[in-house]
Amino acid sequence: MAKLYFRYGSVGSAKTLNLLAVAHNYRQQEKRILLIKPALDTRFGKNNIKSRAGLEQEADILIDENTDLLAGNFTGIDCILVDEAQFLPAKVIDQLRAITFEKNIPAICYGLRTDFRTHLFDGSRRLMEVADSIEEVKSTCHFCNKKSIMNLKHVDGRATRSGPSVDLGAEEKYFPSCFPCYTNQVEESEQIALASSCS
């Protein structure tokens, strides 16, 4: 039976670059892939899957709350690759799970594990629950040389834990961070905000 994979990492860990490299390898072997991304991710264009290194490809399917992958035709498909999987509804993760054993097609999902408030995204939670293989795509903290595990959000140059869980952005807004640096940055920003409100 084919497997469902979840490859997660913090922001800036080259997840999308990894996905595009895997896509290239399949195509070099003249195998057919299906590229999927959430419809809400329009940072680089509606259909584009783009890495920070500049490589990009067009998605075959855009996912929203009403998507039913099980109604699709997967004849001849050798692998499904999913970008920004954290934004997928849990029911779509279950559909990918079903495709792996009903159609015997592997599905490799790339995404963040948690949001900038340290909470699991719905798609990531479901992947952690049902994936056959869970792999970390490692990177280093923006502020030190430790391994990054957090996604630190900045607004107006200051770290913050406020705002909606889904708040699209790239390196201008989010930084990979280890837990100590994440905590220090947030506490420092909160102290500055408190001092400003008291003055």
In the chain, where the domains are located? 4-198
Phi, psi of 8 (to 5 degrees): -115, 160
CATH label, 4-198, candidates 3.40.50.720, 3.40.50.300, 3.40.50.2300, 3.40.920.10: 3.40.50.300
Mean pLDDT for the chain overall: 88
* pLDDT score of 8 more than 70: yes
**For 6, left (φ over 0), alpha (ψ -120 to 50), or beta?**
beta
Q: In terms of Cα–Cα distance, which of 70, 64, 78 is closest to 97?
A: 70
- Report pTM: 0.89
Which residue among 84, 135, 171, 188 is the active-site one?
84
157 close to 185: Cβ distance less than 8 angstroms? no
84 annotated active-site? yes
21-77 tens-digit pLDDT: 999 999 999 999 999 999 888 676 678 787 776 677 888 999 999 999 999 889 999
